[in-house]
Structure 1
């Protein structure tokens, strides 16, 4: 494998992420922010849809074959998992990337979402053994649980996972128990591990959980390019999308409508009620992330414009600017990128009081926080935002300057801890 030249100058950072895409990818945005602030940044992924950027690198065919085998084994082992439990990821197979050029030449390693056959816990140990400062980004709860992305009402992870609701065997020492043990042993074996959560909510859980007890945990939000995501004339945006004739445009993003995380049932009920709350208004719904769906069309009492899966940030920006309110009925989420994007574009957000969502929305100021799983209150929030012409606004702590100052301080601290004091 040939050397990949890394320029002299700023600290050399490599971001590890399962997949790289040109739209809505938090890892790519953090990477671009690092570059803008003078860091020498690379991204290494299993898959990449980014073309022509030598700083975004992906593995070859062998790594992808490992991923496919990993998925087959995981599908078999979780075949009886209840659908309502959400995602449960197993650390089974992965690739040893500890000798990859961008890893070997880096000063700091940022670990994002790397499961699904890209990296196993064993592979993470190989990386930690390099002795470099290694940042574990908590994009969901997997890092502190026995395997679930979100635990909903289960709090076993605070002490020790086992007898997991995901597995019907009713055994204390089940897959979740073993994986919790594997991760805890990994975390406690290395002093060069540092944990970062985009939300206060998940950072607080990581500080309380037994698995990360005594480990350094910080809260640093995900950045966004405000030169791209910014408000412009809504009438122009609506005109471009052919929506100028409507009084209100409401927007919803859904890749999988029936995901246990996305709250489709509550959204549907809230929008049906909206019809009776605003009977004299012409309303249209924009839906992105999903192809045209007969189920959605039949459930929503308004015309719908399906935008499909958007692959560029410019179209995403247009959709938010054409909308009068963005609907985020998530039942479990960390710090949704969609909410940050919408607020940057001046569009208010209605969301439930769960996860990190209340940290982003100032109630009745840049949006509305509805009571958890309360469709009536969610509808009330939509009406509130529309009738008062609320304007979305990013809160000060989510400004990229603030975020990058925090990363700079963290990197300086990590290097002092790792290199000055030595790793045991």
Structure 2
């Protein structure tokens, strides 16, 4: 039986992708384990949490990064230059594994030297890319910048005009690392990121695979909307427009475009009894005051049940992301039978069939977001997950990857 270990910073939020894949492997009978930096409420003998020393190193990395990143322009999102990390190459979970999956391992969990030590074990390492960081000089989303296809330098995120800046330094480090080992494989959850990786100078010579994220359909599925609203204390007479993000005003999530779209709906339509349901982030008075409709903030939802309830209570879900590698919230909403309106960007077009299970709006076009909301509500559009994203098909793609790795290892 093949043995897999997943490395993930935390099981919360972004960690759900790693946890869901791990659970999918377990259900199939694959020997799967997780090594996580931070502990949480999940108690499982298949999850190993690192010790206090590792968490201190992580906090040190976070504090030093504030100084290193002092010239980073935040409107472009996140930039990571990992300084400190923990050597996990001696852990029994690592040494017993045949394949090591690296998920979100930043935030002081691993640095590139730690990744090199894992590759030196001559075990097969699969890097599951949850954003663009692995294929750039440090940014998590490049937006319109394509320097990563040649060589990152004079980064748009970094103040000043230096050709040999942090992005150039990190780019060269990654290039040396990726070119030295033949036991490294890259997985993209979206066709868009797959194409980006194929075009990146860092990864174009490596093995790259397109495998979507998986979802637990026992949680995320349609059920009676009236029941969901009753549990959440939402009137069955209200038209519910939902929006979810861990950080609403993140430069990636497109809040400003949604705000304008809601203003357009308020001014140009006869929509009545509208409720804007917001979850993922805590209450924000500024955002509340900017919304021209009644609002309900649900905060961070701690479990899959509550999240599925929120999706099921909505008539339409809005995902106005300006940069989206995959679009997990889109997949979750569609799986719950809720139509989704989102920009035609990143991995979102993989999930939405225009005017079938949702609406693909023109990029950065608030009026088209408003058109999409109207279209979904007027046509009572229902969301559904596309056949290629069924969990069993996603799992089979990982099994095909395992077969490829086995055959490649024998050469």
Length-normalised TM-score, structure 2: 0.98
Match of 1:49 in 2: 40
Q: Using the alignment, how far apart are the partners of 1:252 and 1:118 within structure 2? A: 31
**Structure 1 gaps, min length 5:** 1-9
Q: Kindly report which structure 2 residues correspond to 1:195-214, keeping only aligned pairs within 5 A, or say none.
A: 195-214=186-205
Tell me by how many angstroms 1:69 deviates.
1.0
Match of 1:74 in 2: 65
Asked if structure 1 preserves the Cα contact closer than 8 Å seen for 2:141 and 2:323, the reply is: yes
Match of 1:264 in 2: 255
- Say which SS state the counterpart of residue 211 (structure 1) adopts: coil
Q: Using the alignment, how far apart are the partners of 2:194 and 2:361 within structure 1? A: 23
- Say which SS state the counterpart of residue 19 (structure 1) adopts: coil
Matched, 1:366 2:341: no
Q: Using the alignment, how far apart are the partners of 2:22 and 2:245 within structure 1? A: 25
Match of 1:60 in 2: 51
Q: Which whole-Å deviations, capped at 9, do the CAs of 1:162-199 have from their partners, x for residues lacking one?
A: 01112223111111001000011100110000110000
Q: Kindly report which structure 2 residues correspond to 1:29-178, keeping only aligned pairs within 5 A, or say none.
A: 29-178=20-169
Tell me by how many angstroms 1:74 deviates.
1.0
Q: Which whole-Å deviations, capped at 9, do the CAs of 1:327-366 have from their partners, x for residues lacking one?
A: 1000001111111110000001000011111111000000
Q: Using the alignment, how far apart are the partners of 1:236 and 1:277 within structure 2? A: 32
Q: Which whole-Å deviations, capped at 9, do the CAs of 1:194-221 have from their partners, x for residues lacking one?
A: 1100000000110111111211111000
Q: Using the alignment, how far apart are the partners of 1:165 and 1:262 within structure 2? A: 20
Q: Which whole-Å deviations, capped at 9, do the CAs of 1:268-317 have from their partners, x for residues lacking one?
A: 01011112343242110111012222112111111111111001000000
Tell me by how many angstroms 1:224 deviates.
0.3
Tell me by how many angstroms 1:51 deviates.
3.0
Asked if structure 2 preserves the Cα contact closer than 8 Å seen for 1:197 and 1:217, the reply is: yes
After alignment, is 175-184 or 22-31 more displaced?
Answer: 22-31
Q: Using the alignment, how far apart are the partners of 1:226 and 1:386 within structure 2? A: 25
Match of 1:6 in 2: none
Q: Using the alignment, how far apart are the partners of 1:315 and 1:262 within structure 2? A: 21
Q: Using the alignment, how far apart are the partners of 1:280 and 1:152 within structure 2? A: 34
Match of 1:230 in 2: 221
Matched, 1:349 2:340: yes
- Say which SS state the counterpart of residue 20 (structure 1) adopts: coil
- Say which SS state the counterpart of residue 202 (structure 2) adopts: helix
Q: Using the alignment, how far apart are the partners of 1:225 and 1:318 within structure 2? A: 14
- Say which SS state the counterpart of residue 198 (structure 2) adopts: helix
Quick one: which of 297, 300, 314 aligns to 2:305? 314
- Say which SS state the counterpart of residue 393 (structure 1) adopts: coil
Match of 1:5 in 2: none
After alignment, is 11-20 or 44-53 more displaced?
Answer: 44-53
Q: Which whole-Å deviations, capped at 9, do the CAs of 1:32-55 have from their partners, x for residues lacking one?
A: 001011101011111131432111
Q: Using the alignment, how far apart are the partners of 1:272 and 1:183 within structure 2? A: 45
Q: Using the alignment, how far apart are the partners of 2:176 and 2:357 within structure 1? A: 43
Asked if structure 2 preserves the Cα contact closer than 8 Å seen for 1:23 and 1:311, the reply is: no
Asked if structure 1 preserves the Cα contact closer than 8 Å seen for 2:9 and 2:15, the reply is: no
Asked if structure 2 preserves the Cα contact closer than 8 Å seen for 1:15 and 1:110, the reply is: yes
Taking only aligned residues, the RMSD between alpha carbons, in angstroms, comes to 1.2
Asked if structure 1 preserves the Cα contact closer than 8 Å seen for 2:189 and 2:211, the reply is: yes
- Say which SS state the counterpart of residue 161 (structure 2) adopts: coil
